[in-house]
Structure formats: structure tokens, C-alpha cells
């Protein structure tokens, strides 16, 4: 993308943007929640739609001049519904956290109980961690894994907690859990205590859309919340999908606007519409399958080197490794060392972590962005070997050699401009 006007107007911002362009081009992105978008999505984000206020919904706006914004939002809604088999879609949430909070507001009253996955076992901050403001509004109770080595969720304990606490919502979903969930079991538990079943599929939305993982709607879930980036490969944003209940959909619309947000970001919604069209193409199914194949290939390399992987491997796009016990290095130091080699991932707490969250025992990494760049399983195995060499021996020569090879691999796989 040409930044000529930024270059002319603001040299400092221009330097930061072009520096980031160079970093992304020359390095390998392994943060599981990050990906690359098409040039069409980026152009939509920079379009004149950013100038327009559009409070309300298509056909029911508070300002005039909405002919084209209505068209864009209707396109995004229709494509989202088709992509996920939903009856209703709200594409206005500005992010995943906004989508989750709006869903809570729509489905519960302050003080009501929600049962969600423990952050330390793979959940997300917005699933009720005490540091969040939303945890002061609703009563969050938690479930987790029975066995951190296999990743098995303690469904019996989940059911017992549900019967004891009678939540209004049971929330399934995660930000650092490498396995699949038993969607039907969770939906049955929820409906057995007259609760709604809500899935936060932010991390795996693209894998569901690409039919590489099961869709919770097929197993009785009532609502899905998600981001539109990560594996879905769209702009940073959020979305809420309702299976077939019009009354729930109306409550969600009211909770998003005017309950939580003001004017939607129409340039972002246009970008969402484009990315949903991209995800509806047959090639996206191949992409989704390859993301999982590549992640499993990397996991096998780490396991072959004796690395302790939380849950023993992966069924999706991400891997959680205990580097403290495996390489005698903290997650923070591992992140920094790999960054020097041009491999970007994030430090991450693991279940029953004895270290603090800012310098934890684990790292989290995955394959959505590598797969977008065209990496295959064998190349992902080589990336895993490079990571292990750097984690094992952090001397200057090892890191320099790894960075040289990383740049060669990155140069061989430039970020594609189009996915259609």
C-alpha cells in the first residue's frame, strides 16, 4: 500500500508504519491471534466510510445519508449468516471484548451467574477474570481441565457446578486451549439447567467457517461471539451470531447499540464484509485444514525433542509449551530470545503456573499467519526446529543463524495481496 500522503504529512508515523511493514515481511508471525489481511480489506479500512456516522441499524438510522452504509452492513450480515449457519448476525461490535460484554448485557441482569472457563486453564480475561470490570457486574464461576496433560475438560464437575449455581449462561470458548470442546455435552448441560449456551469462538472462527472444526450451532448452542481477525483473517473487530431465536437477536442488537457502543465503524464493517466473502470461497476450506495440519506438525517436532506441551498436543491452530520445565527458560525470556531471531510469539501462563503472568512458564504460538503465507507442514517443522535451537542455546551465533534462515523463509513466502 502506498503511504505517500502519510510520508508527506507525518514523517514520524510514516517511519513507524514502514518499520512495521518491514518487521512483518522479514519475520515469522506465530502469535495465534494474529494474521494477515488482504489488500482489499486494508483498502476498505482506509476508505471514506470512516467519515460517516451510522448510529442504528440498516433502514433504522438516526442520521441521513445512509444509502451506501446500509448496503455495506446488509452485505456483511448476509455473508456472516451464510458463513456460520446463523439466523441473525450483529456485525457492529468493535472487538471481541465488546462482543462478549454486549452478549452478557443482552442475556443477563447484573448479579446473574455465568459459568465460564478458568483463565489459567485456557479461558479469556472477558470470561470473568477478577481484574476485569465486568466481573464486578456479573457473578462468574469457573470450570477447567481434569487433566492438564491430556486437556480433558472436567465435564462432570462442570455439570455439578451448573446444577449448584444455576447460571443464566454457560460460556464455552478459550484463548489458550489447544484441544476441541464437546459442544453437545456443554449445550446439553446448559439447557438442562435452563441456561443459554454461548460459545466464544474468537480463536477458531475461521476454522469453523472453513469446516475444519465443528460448528457449535450444530450442537444446540444459542449464541456465538467472535472476533473477525485471528483465523477468520478479517479486520480487527467483533461479531455476535444468534442461531434461530429472534427475541435473543433483538436483545443483542439493543445491547450493542445503544447499550454499549455509539456509531459503528462503517469502514471496519466494509472490511468485514470483504473478509466474509473471502472466507466463503472454496480455497478457505483448504486454508483452514492446513492451519491445523501445520500446527500439529510443529507440535510433533516439539514432542520429539521432549518438550512438555500442555494437553499433549493440539487439535486446532495453537500450541502451549512449558518452556520453564523443558528448556529452563521463562516465557518472557523465551519470547525475547525468539524475537531476536525474527520469530514472534507470546509468553503465556500455563495451568497451575508457579510463575507470575508477566514472566510465566509458558509460550503460546500457532500457525494462522504462517499458513496464510503459504507455509506447508515440512516448512513448519523446520520453523519448530529453529525455535528449539534458539530456546536450547541462546548464544549470538545460534540466534544470528536462525534469523538468517527465518529471513530466507520469509522472503520465499511473501504475504499475499489477495485471497480470492
Residues tagged active-site: 53, 55, 200, 227, 230, 236
Q: Measured between alpha carbons, how far is 215 from 224 in angstroms, rounded to an integer?
A: 10
Q: Measured between alpha carbons, how far is 176 from 100 in angstroms, rounded to an integer?
A: 17
> Any alpha helices (H) in 239-349, and if so which ranges?
246-254, 266-279, 282-304, 323-327, 331-340
- Angle at 172 (CA atoms; ends 91, 245), nearest 5 degrees: 50
Residue 170 grid coordinates? 454457560
Q: Which residues of 363-376 are buried (b: 16+ CB within 10 A; e: fewer)?
A: bbbbbbbbbbbebe
Contact 384, 307 (CB under 8 A): no
Q: Which residues of 301-314 are buried (b: 16+ CB within 10 A; e: fewer)?
A: bbbebebbbbbebb
Q: Residue 134: name the closest of 153, 111, 156, 160 by CA.
A: 111
Q: Residue 298: name the closest of 354, 371, 352 by CA.
A: 371
DSSP annotation string for 204-228? THHHHHTTSS--GGGGT--EEEEES
Q: Residue 167: name the closest of 113, 221, 126, 128 by CA.
A: 113
Backbone dihedral region of 344: left (phi > 0), alpha (psi from -120 to 50 degrees) or beta? beta
β-bridge mates for residue 29, sequence order: 344
- Angle at 409 (CA atoms; ends 408, 413), nearest 5 degrees: 115
Amino acid at each position: 500500500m502506498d503511504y505517500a500522503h502519510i510520508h508527506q504529512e507525518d514523517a514520524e508515523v510514516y517511519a513507524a508504519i514502514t518499520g512495521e511493514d518491514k518487521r512483518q515481511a522479514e519475520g515469522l508471525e506465530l502469535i495465534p491471534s494474529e494474521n494477515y489481511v488482504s489488500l482489499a480489506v486494508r483498502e476498505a479500512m482506509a476508505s471514506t466510510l470512516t467519515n460517516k456516522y451510522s448510529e442504528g441499524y440498516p433502514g433504522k438510522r438516526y442520521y441521513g445519508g445512509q444509502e451506501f452504509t446500509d448496503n455495506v452492513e446488509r452485505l456483511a450480515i448476509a455473508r456472516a449468516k451464510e458463513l456460520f449457519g446463523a439466523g441473525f448476525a450483529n456485525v457492529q461490535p468493535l472487538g471481541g471484548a465488546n462482543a462478549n460484554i454486549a452478549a452478557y448485557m443482552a442475556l443477563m441482569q447484573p448479579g446473574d451467574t455465568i459459568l465460564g472457563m478458568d483463565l489459567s486453564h485456557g479461558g479469556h480475561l472477558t470470561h470473568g477474570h477478577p481484574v476485569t470490570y465486568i466481573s464486578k457486574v456479573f457473578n462468574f464461576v469457573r470450570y477447567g481441565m481434569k487433566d492438564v496433560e491430556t486437556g480433558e475438560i472436567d465435564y462432570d464437575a462442570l455439570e455439578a457446578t451448573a446444577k449448584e449455581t444455576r447460571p443464566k449462561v454457560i460460556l464455552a470458548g478459550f484463548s489458550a486451549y489447544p484441544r476441541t470442546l464437546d459442544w453437545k455435552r456443554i449445550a446439553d448441560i446448559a439447557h438442562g439447567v435452563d441456561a443459554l449456551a454461548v460459545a466464544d469462538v474468537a480463536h477458531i472462527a475461521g476454522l469453523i467457517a472453513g469446516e475444519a472444526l465443528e460448528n457449535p450451532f450444530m450442537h444446540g448452542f444459542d449464541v456465538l461471539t467472535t472476533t473477525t481477525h485471528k483465523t477468520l483473517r478479517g479486520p480487527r473487530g467483533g461479531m455476535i451470531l444468534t442461531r434461530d431465536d429472534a427475541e435473543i437477536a433483538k436483545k443483542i442488537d439493543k445491547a450493542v447499540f445503544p447499550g454499549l457502543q455509539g456509531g459503528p465503524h462503517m469502514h471496519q464493517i466494509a472490511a468485514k464484509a470483504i473478509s466474509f466473502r473471502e472466507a466463503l470461497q472454496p480455497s478457505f476450506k483448504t486454508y483452514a485444514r492446513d492451519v491445523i495440519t501445520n500446527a500439529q506438525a510443529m507440535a510433533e517436532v516439539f514432542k520429539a525433542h521432549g518438550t512438555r506441551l500442555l494437553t499433549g498436543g493440539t487439535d486446532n491452530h495453537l500450541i502451549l509449551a512449558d518452556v520453564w520445565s523443558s528448556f529452563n527458560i521463562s516465557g518472557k525470556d523465551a519470547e525475547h530470545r525468539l524475537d531476536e531471531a525474527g520469530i514472534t510469539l507470546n509468553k503465556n501462563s500455563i495451568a497451575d503456573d508457579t510463575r507470575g503472568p508477566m514472566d510465566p512458564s509458558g509460550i503460546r504460538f500457532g500457525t494462522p499467519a504462517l499458513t496464510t503465507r503459504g507455509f506447508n507442514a515440512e516448512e513448519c517443522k523446520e520453523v519448530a526446529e529453529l525455535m528449539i535451537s534458539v530456546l536450547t542455546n541462546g548464544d549470538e551465533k545460534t540466534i544470528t543463524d536462525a534469523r538468517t534462515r527465518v529471513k530466507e523463509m520469509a522472503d520465499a513466502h511473501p504475504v499475499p495481496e489477495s485471497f480470492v
